[in-house]
């Protein structure tokens, strides 16, 4: 069965520091993977997606993610965090008309 795990419930980083949010998935075939961001009380915004091909994908707002099949991971990274990046981040797997969301990682940014 497919599933997504985000091991970190909360992460706090200083503004300007680098960021890595972890995501592990369970799926038998090549997955469709996404990272979404959600600001408080808002809908979800797509940051980036992986379907196939290049394992390093670039997204909006300076985010990137690397797909590692051997580790069943799809970690999200950003070299320099801005205060406006404080939000909830969801790693998501898509399979046949359904999304499987991780539990989310809440990012706090210290000034």
- Where along the sequence are the contacts to other proteins (CB under 8 A)? 32, 34, 36, 41-46, 49, 51, 90, 94, 96-99, 101-104, 106
- Residue (74 or 90) nearer to other proteins, CB: 90
Q: How far is the CB of 22 from other proteins (least distance, A)?
A: 16
Which residues in 54-82 are b (16+ Cβ under 10 Å) and which e? Answer: eeebebeeebbbbbeeeeebbbbebeebe
Report which of 20, 102, 103 is spatially closest to residue 64, judged by C-alpha positions. Answer: 20
- Residue (19 or 48) nearer to other proteins, CB: 48
Mapping DSSP to helix (H, G, I), strand (E, B) and coil, where does residue 110 land? strand
Partners of 106 in beta bridges:
10, 88
- Residue (54 or 98) nearer to other proteins, CB: 98
Q: How far is the CB of 101 from other proteins (least distance, A)?
A: 4
């Amino acid at each position: 069965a497919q599933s997504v795990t985000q091991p970190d419930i909360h992460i706090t980083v200083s503004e300007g520091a680098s960021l890595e949010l972890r995501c592990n998935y369970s799926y038998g075939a090549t997955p469709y993977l996404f990272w979404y961001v959600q600001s408080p009380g808002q809908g979800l915004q797509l940051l980036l997606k992986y379907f196939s091909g290049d394992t390093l994908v670039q997204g909006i707002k300076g985010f990137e993610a690397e797909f590692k099949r051997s580790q069943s991971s799809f970690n999200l990274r950003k070299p320099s965090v801005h205060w406006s990046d404080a939000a909830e981040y969801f790693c998501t797997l898509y399979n046949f008309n359904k999304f499987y969301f991780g539990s989310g990682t809440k990012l706090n940014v210290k000034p």
